[in-house]
Amino acid sequence: MIFPIFPSLLFAALLATSSAQSSPSSPPSSTWTEVTPTVASATTDLAASASPELSCNGSPLLCDRKYNNITYMGAHDSAFLHDASTGESLAGNQNFNATIALDSGIRFLQAQVHNQEGTLELCHTSCFLLDAGTLTAWLTKIRYWLDQNPNEVITILLVNSDNVDTSQFGAAFTASGLSNYGYTPQSPTGSSTNWPTLRTMITTNKRLVAFVTGITYTTTYPYLLNEFTHIFETPFTVLSLTGFNCTLDRPSGFPSFTAALSAGMMPLMNHFADTEIALNIAIPNLLDIKTTNSPSTTKTGALGLHAANCLAQWGQKPIFILVDFYDQGPAIDTANKLNGVTPTQNKPVPSTTTTANNTATTTHSGASLTRVSYATFASIISSVLVVIFLSI
């Protein structure tokens, strides 16, 4: 019986192909902002070094807006790169690492976390597919970036893929030094509209908001917040440029986005398109990536149009947006337009050529589609046929 085992063989071949193309589990230090740990505590001295005329998250206009009245452009699966450091890995969703993304104006970083023999690792779907190193090492680099940028407020969303305890995440944040920046809302166990302004968060040096899926709140780590206590999401498996919408996908406790918004939940708009081939295997629609990430409010499938539609339906702009390959578009233009600002302190978005041969994998705390390139898909099929032939 060959056909019943075909999906298993196909997945095995995908992993084998990925392993053959991947280099070591973490990017070389040359691709990151250099870090010289010891782990330093974030002190009020850093906050005091901020300019008297604040430019918060790149613009003075944002300083006196509440945290939940700003749109934060985010890098979906931000730890997983499609570049030379990973051997052009099949599982890469971004062209540039997290600190370069932050330099470019990205203020929302999402990543998947797995429990690898007791260590929290940044793994994409599986640690066999792509292991981007330990969570602690990644958080340390982000902590260093915050050390060097005292007027910036950022948000992290971690997908707790293996449902590990809050204490394990807390240990990683503490070891990295990033816990010192963690902001604890007045209502950490319930949604609220009573968030501080960026100016307040910068002045008090509590400039990190950290969400983790599937954790239980604890006063030991009060800054670690359960995502779906505070955020609702739109659908994240979209297979055509006409498929983007503003409906509530998660959490299931609300019947509609209207109910979620009324409860003070902050909306997260997922915006990345795939094309399914067969057997739950899909390729990212990179042929249209410049449209997908475009700020246009008239092009079908454009990021700008999706955001405008949600603004019209919700009566408020998206607070969080997640995109693949944020440098394309570039996606940050849509957030700037929604916020009504022209940031002057961000570095230029890096340029790269993203083609149909780029690859990625979608997994976002739910069902997944493995995303590969046309060339890789052909290679996988060939490998599977060889395995089937040898097993006959």
Sign of the dihedral through C-alpha 372, 374, 375, 377? positive
Q: Hey, is 218 helix, strand or coil?
A: coil
What is the rounded CA–CA span in Å between residue 354 and residue 143? Answer: 29
What is the rounded CA–CA span in Å between residue 269 and residue 107? Answer: 15
| Partners of 371 in the β-ladder | 282, 360
- Could you tell me if 157 and 211 are in contact, meaning their C-beta atoms sit under 8 angstroms apart? yes
82 is catalytic: no
271 is catalytic: no
Residue 94's nearest CA partner among 275, 361, 276 is 361
| Partners of 59 in the β-ladder | 56
In the set 82, 124, 271, 364, the catalytic residue is 124
In sequence order, which ranges of the chain are alpha helices (DSSP H)?
6-21, 44-48, 98-103, 135-148, 166-176, 198-203, 227-230, 257-262, 289-292, 303-314, 332-339, 374-391
Q: Hey, which residues are catalytic here?
A: 76, 124
